[in-house]
Structure 1
């Protein structure tokens, strides 16, 4: 969010001065305005209008208290018509030091280029208030509109006069998403059916149609009749725009355990218990929220979901009659209430062969040899080799006795 915007110029007799600012009094004091300034302008003046070597380029400065960042693009126009043969000015935007400055860079550059062109054409800045500027919008009014429109709408389109319009837009900058693995399961964060249209990419439309929160990436590629690599690219594109999220493949052999955030659920922070109940209950009367807390807190690192269900059945609580277990686990993972405990296979013989540089195959290593270095979880093996957990363990037993260890983390 823009905290302030101002126009500064270098006056030959007075030095660097703020000519206009919005909101009033945010940078320098104004008559009739009693409000604290964002920073001490006098200590920053030499950086607002710097020496010529730093002009005509994008500049960012932090105030001495490290609370605000000033974004500017100081301009120096050299011409004999100006006193000292040059005209120096800067349109600056002030944002919080913790705000991402990248989206605002294009705005600052556009302000500098637009007003430079207007100054070269008709001295819009240097002759402000003259007879030629009567039919134009004032700089003070422009700054106010730019700040309000960018803060409220992330864009602005302001006619200055019959020939010039200031048109700017803030584009959000997203972090590059993590790689999409074939054993991940995408979950939609919006209703794609309501926004998709005929202009969308055909591959993207086919992939989106298969996203149901159950299918893994490999199965989505198969059912959509799209190459796996193209499916991953499409899903990564959706991840980039925060339209989906990725979770682990759901199997009843999975292990989950609570995180410290389970305290927020037990204390019903932000009505989380009712939100969960509306998402997971399927049949019969809705049980009290106590049972939901009981279900989450009974998960542990030494118990698979299958064993967890049996535990509650032995306690006369038929979980499957009331709760969709898959949705319960998804809710817990998405909210950060529980985490997945993955299984990894580690072969000391295979690791030794990697250390020594010997690539010879291990006896009875078969197709699982490349997965037993402790870096490949069972989900990956399940998806890539079409093996269930029991089949994987059967294959691992064919290795030399005592060679393979199973790690949980």
Structure 2
């Protein structure tokens, strides 16, 4: 959020001066305005209009109290028509020191370039108070509109005169998403059918109908008849904008374990237990919240989902009659209540060959040797080789006796 915006220029007789500011009194005192200033202008004046070596470039200034940050792009225009043959000015934005500055950089640069062009065209800034400047929209009014529109709508389009318009937009900056793997399962976070139209990318239009929370990336690519790299690119684009999230393959041979966040579920913070019930129940009488907590708490690192189901079935709780287990696990992972425990194969002979730099073929490991370095989980082996868990174990038993260890993490 923009806390303040100002226009400052260098006057040969007075030095650096704030000519306009919004809101009033946010940078320098104004008559009939009694409010605290965002920063001490006298201390920061030499940085707002700096030496020529720092002009015509984007600058950020942290205030000494570490509460505010000033974003500016000081400009110096050289021309004989100006006193001292130069005109220096700066449009600055004041934001909180903890606010992400990246989206505002383009706005500050656009302000500098737009008003530089307007100054070169008709001396819009330097002759503001002269007779030739009358009849135009004032800079003070422009600053107020820019601040309010960017804060409220993240964009502004302001006609200045017959030849110039200020167009700016704040674009959110997202962190790059993690790589999309072929064994990941995308889950939609919105209803794409309500927003998709004819202008969307054709590849994305073919991929989106297959995002159902069940199919993995490899299967989506196959069913949509699109190459796997293109499918990953589409899903990474959706992941970048937080339109989907990625989970692991759901297999009954998988292992899940609780996290410390499970305590929030036990305490029913923000109604998580009812939210879970509405998401996972399929039919029959509703299980008690105690049973829901017990289901999560009995997941552990030494127990597969198949063994977990059998445990509760032996105790008289037929989970499959009441709960969609896949959605139950998805809910726990999405909320951070549980995490997936992956299985990795580690071959001591293969690791030794990697360390020595020799590509030694291990007897019996022709098919899975490249996966036996402890860096490839069983989900990857399943997706890339169409092998179930028991077939993977059968292949690993073909390695020399005692060579392969299974690591859970």
1:59 paired with 2:68, answer no
What is residue 307 of structure 1 aligned with on the other side?
307
1:250 paired with 2:247, answer no
Whether the 8 Å CA contact 2:187–2:211 is kept in 1: the answer is yes
For residues 142-186 of structure 1, what are the alpha-carbon distances to aligned partners after superposition, in whole Å with 9 as ceiling and x for unaligned?
111101100111100111122221111111222221111100001
1:123 paired with 2:112, answer no
Distance of 1:175 and 1:106 partners within structure 2 = 18
Distance of 1:4 and 1:12 partners within structure 2 = 26
What is residue 275 of structure 1 aligned with on the other side?
275
Distance of 2:34 and 2:259 partners within structure 1 = 49
What is residue 348 of structure 2 aligned with on the other side?
348
TM-score (norm 2): 0.97
What is residue 393 of structure 1 aligned with on the other side?
393
Q: How does 1:10-49 map to 2 (within 5 A)?
A: 10-49=10-49
Distance of 2:92 and 2:393 partners within structure 1 = 64
How far did residue 100 of structure 1 move? 1.8
**Could you say what the CA RMSD is over the residues aligned between the two structures, in angstroms?**
1.2
What is residue 105 of structure 1 aligned with on the other side?
105
How far did residue 137 of structure 1 move? 1.3
Q: Which moved more, 1:283-292 or 1:103-112?
A: 283-292
How far did residue 403 of structure 1 move? 1.0
Distance of 1:318 and 1:34 partners within structure 2 = 70
Distance of 1:314 and 1:25 partners within structure 2 = 73
Q: How does 1:221-232 map to 2 (within 5 A)?
A: 221-232=221-232
Query: What SS does structure 2 have at the residue aligned with 1:332?
Result: helix
TM-score (norm 1): 0.97
Structure 1: which 5+ residue stretches go unaligned? none
How far did residue 208 of structure 1 move? 0.9
How far did residue 258 of structure 1 move? 0.9
Query: What SS does structure 2 have at the residue aligned with 1:250?
Result: coil
Q: How does 1:188-337 map to 2 (within 5 A)?
A: 188-337=188-337
Distance of 2:146 and 2:100 partners within structure 1 = 19
How far did residue 358 of structure 1 move? 2.1
Q: Which moved more, 1:41-50 or 1:282-291?
A: 282-291
How many aligned positions are there? 409
How far did residue 81 of structure 1 move? 2.3
Structure 2: which 5+ residue stretches go unaligned? none
1:155 paired with 2:155, answer yes
What is residue 96 of structure 2 aligned with on the other side?
96
Whether the 8 Å CA contact 1:135–1:161 is kept in 2: the answer is no
How far did residue 51 of structure 1 move? 0.6
What is residue 370 of structure 1 aligned with on the other side?
370
For residues 198-257 of structure 1, what are the alpha-carbon distances to aligned partners after superposition, in whole Å with 9 as ceiling and x for unaligned?
222221111111110010110111111111111111111111111111110000111111
